Chain A
Amino acid sequence: MSTTDHLHVVTSDTITDSRRRMGRGLIWGSAAVLAGVALAQLGQTSGWWNLGFQTWRPTLYAYCLWATCLCWAQVIIRGEQGKRTLFVLPAALFVISLTVFPLLFGLVIAFSSWNLSSPTGRAFNGLDNLRQMWTDPFYWNAMGNMVWYTAAIIVEYAIAFGLALLLAGQIRARKFFRVAFLLPLMLSPVAVSWMIGKSMLEARFGPLARFARWVGWDNPSFFGSPEVAKITIMLMDAWTFIPFMMIMLLAGLQAIPKELTEASRVDGATGWKSFWEVTFPLMLPVSITAILIRIIFKLKLADIVINVTAGGPGGATDTVTSFIFREYRDRSNVGYGTMLAMVYLVIIVIVMTILMKLAARWAGPRT
C-alpha cells in the first residue's frame, strides 16, 4: 500500500510523430469499426434496415477488437510508459466492460416493466417499480432477514476465534485438525444443502433428527416454524463459513510476536486477562477485516436458501438474493427484479461505507 517502494525507472523513448499518429489511428480506427458495427445493428433492431444480423455478437467482436487495439496502441504511443500501463489496462477494461455496462443497462431495465415471458417486451414505467417495491411486504421481510443473518456473524466470529486460538496453541495433530476444520469451506453450498438440509435434517430418518429425538425433542422439525427455520439456515451457513474466518484469525494470531505474549506473562497476566489485554487488541485489525469480508459474503447468501427452503415457511428464511431469484424464476419479472437488486446494491454500498469508516476509526492508531 505504501507509495515509497514503487519502482522508478527513467527511460528515454524517442517516439516519432509518425509512430504516434499510427497509434492514434489504431485506436480511432478500431473505435470507428466498433461504432459502425454497433450502428448497423442498432439500425436493424430499430427496423431501419435489415442486414441479416442474428445476434449482437458482431458488436461484441468489434468491442474486443477495439479493446485489443487500445492496449496495443498504448505501447506504440507512449513507449515504455505504455508497457507499464499494459499491466493494469486489460484487467481494468475487463472489469469495466463486465460491470459498468451491465450496471448502466440494469438501470434502464430497473425503470421499465419487462416480463420476459410476455410478448409485449420492454416499456418504461418510470417509478412504478419503486412504488411496487415500497409496498412489497416480502421484499422488506427478506431485508429484515438479512439483518438477522448478518447479526449471526458475531456468534460465528466468537466460535471462529475460539477455534483459531485452539489451533494456534500447542496441540498435537495440528495439521489434521486444520484440514478437518477447513473442509466445510471446500464444499459447494448446493451439495451442503442436500447433505445437511435435505438428508441429515430430514424429519424421519435424518441422523440429526434422530439425535434430536434422542435428546428429547419429540417431534423434530427443522423448517417448520419460522424461527427454527431461520436458525437452521444460519447454522448451515455458519458451518460452511466459520473455517473462512478461522483461517484469517489464525493467520493474525500467528503474526503476533511471541515476545509480546511472553512479556505480558512475565508481568503477571494470566490466560483470560492476557487474552483481553494483549491478544484481543492486537487482533482487532484482523478481526475487523475478517468480519467485513464475512459480511460481504453473507450479503450474497442465497444458494442454501434456494435449495433447502426456497424461502419458506412464509418467507421466514428468504434472503434478498433468493427472493429476487424466485421473482425471476417464477414470474420472469426482469424489470421489477432488477429494481429490487439495484436498491439492494445501494443499501449495501451505504451500509458498507459506514461500516468501513467506523472500522477505520475504531481500528486506527490511537494516540
Chain B
Amino acid sequence: MTQTAIFKDSEADRSFRAKWFANRLVVYGVLIFWAIICLFPIYWTITTSFKMAPNVMKGNLIPWVDYDPAWLGWRSLGLSPDTIGNDSTVRDEFMKRFLNSTIVALSASTLAVILGSLAAYGLSRFSFRFGFMKNDDISFFFLSQLILPPVVLALPFLVLYKEMALLDTRIGLILLYTLTVLPIVIWIMRDQFAGIPTELEEAAMVDGLGVWGAFFTIILPIALPGMVAAFILSLVLTWNEYFFAALLTSTHANTLPVMVASQTGSQGISWWSMAALSTAAILPLIVIGVVLERFIIKGMAAGAVK
C-alpha cells in the first residue's frame, strides 16, 4: 500500500493505540502466566498417572508427542481398563476410603447447612437474649469458632472419643467436621437472609402461616442459591480435611486424604501410582469447581461485601 490514507490517525492517536496494545499484551501475558501456574501442577499430576518410569526420569511432558501413555499408574490402583474386572485389594481399599470421604463430607455439609441456616435465619430475624448475650454476641460466638485452631480441639477430642467409642468412626468425624464448617455456613447464610426483606414473612404471616411455615415456604426457596454456595464450600473444606482425619481415624473411617498421605512414605516414589491416586482424590473437586464455580465464588464473596 503506497497510497497515503486520506483519513489518518494523528500522531497522538497512534501512540495511544500502541500503548493500548502494550497494555493488552501485558494483561493477557500476566493472565496466561498465572493460569499456567495454577493449571500446570494439575496437568502434571494427571499426565504423570499415565507415565512409565523412563518417561518420568526423562521429564517428558506431552502425551503422544513425548511419550506413549500407559495405564501403569491406574493399573496399580486396579482402575485401568484391563484390571477393572478383576479383584483388587488396592481398589477395594481405595473405594472404601473414597466412600468414607464422600459420606463424611456430604453428611457433615448437610448437617452444617441445616443447623447453620436455621441459626442464621433466627439471628437475622428475631431478637434473642440468652443471659447476657444478645444477637450480636451470639453471632460473634458462632463466628469466633473460626479462630479456634484444630490442634486445640484435637487432643481433647481424641481422649473423649476414645472414652465414647467414637474413635475411628464416621459419625465422630462428621460431628467434628460439622463443627469446623458451621461458622462459615452461618457467616454466608446470615448475609443471605439479611438481603431478604422482612415484608415477605410479614405478608405470609398475615395469610396465616406460622414462623416456621413462613421460613420453609417463603424464605427457604429464595435463600436456596446461598445455601447451595454454603454447602459446596463446606463440601470442599470437609473433603480436603486431613488433620482430624489423621488423628482420629486408623483403619475403618480413614478418608481419602489420609490414604494419599500414608502412601507417600511407604511406597517410595512409584510416581505413577501416586499420581493416579492424587488424580482420583482431586478429580471430584475439580469437576465441582469447574461446574459450580459461580456458587463457590458467590459463597466466598458473601461475607466480603456488606
Contact = CB atoms under 8 A, between A and B. Distances in A.
Nearest to A80: B211
Contacts of B158: 328, 334
A157 to B, nearest CB: 13
Given A252-B304, A334-B159, A87 B44 contact: no
A180 to B, nearest CB: 4
Given A54-B165, A88-B118, A182-B297, A189 B35 contact: no
Contacts of A296: 146-147
A307 B179 contact: no
A335 to B, nearest CB: 9
A179 B290 contact: yes
Contacts of B152: 103, 106, 341-342, 344-345
Interface in B164-187: 164-166, 175-176, 178-179, 182, 186
A320 B300 contact: no
Interface stretch (B2-10, B75-83, B91-99, B122-130): B122-130
B237 to A, nearest CB: 10
Interface stretch (A15-23, A31-39, A190-198): A190-198
A185 B56 CA distance: 27
Contact of A247 (B240, B261, B301): B301
A281 to B, nearest CB: 16
A84 interface: yes
Contacts of A6: 125-127, 198
A345 to B, nearest CB: 5
A94 B115 contact: yes
Given A3-B135, A7-B202, A248 B300 contact: yes
Contacts, number: 310
Contact of A84 (B126, B141, B258, B303): B126
B201 A188 contact: no
B122 A103 contact: no
Contact of B147 (A7, A248, A340, A352): A352
Interface in B185-207: 186, 194, 197-198, 201-202, 205
| Size class of the contact patch on chain B | 35 or more
Contact of B126 (A7, A177, A186): A7
Contacts of A60: 164, 166
Tell me what chain A mostly uses at the interface: helix, strand, loop, or mixed: helix
Interface in B25-61: 27-28, 30-31, 34-35, 37-42, 44-45, 48, 56-57, 59, 61
Interface in B134-172: 135-136, 138, 141-142, 145-160, 163-166
Contacts of B147: 296, 348-349, 352
A92 to B, nearest CB: 7
A206 B56 CA distance: 8
Contacts of A358: none
A91 B157 contact: no
Given A99-B148, A345-B148, A55 B44 contact: no
Contact of B304 (A59, A200, A286): A286
7 contacts: A92-B142, A102-B160, A195-B44, A207-B44, A250-B297, A290-B304, A324-B155
Given A166-B31, A334-B159, 12 more contacts: A88-B118, A98-B179, A105-B156, A180-B39, A194-B278, A195-B41, A205-B57, A210-B59, A252-B305, A321-B149, A324-B151, A349-B147
Closest 7 CB pairs of A and B: A87-B122, A251-B301, A188-B240, A91-B119, A106-B156, A248-B304, A102-B156
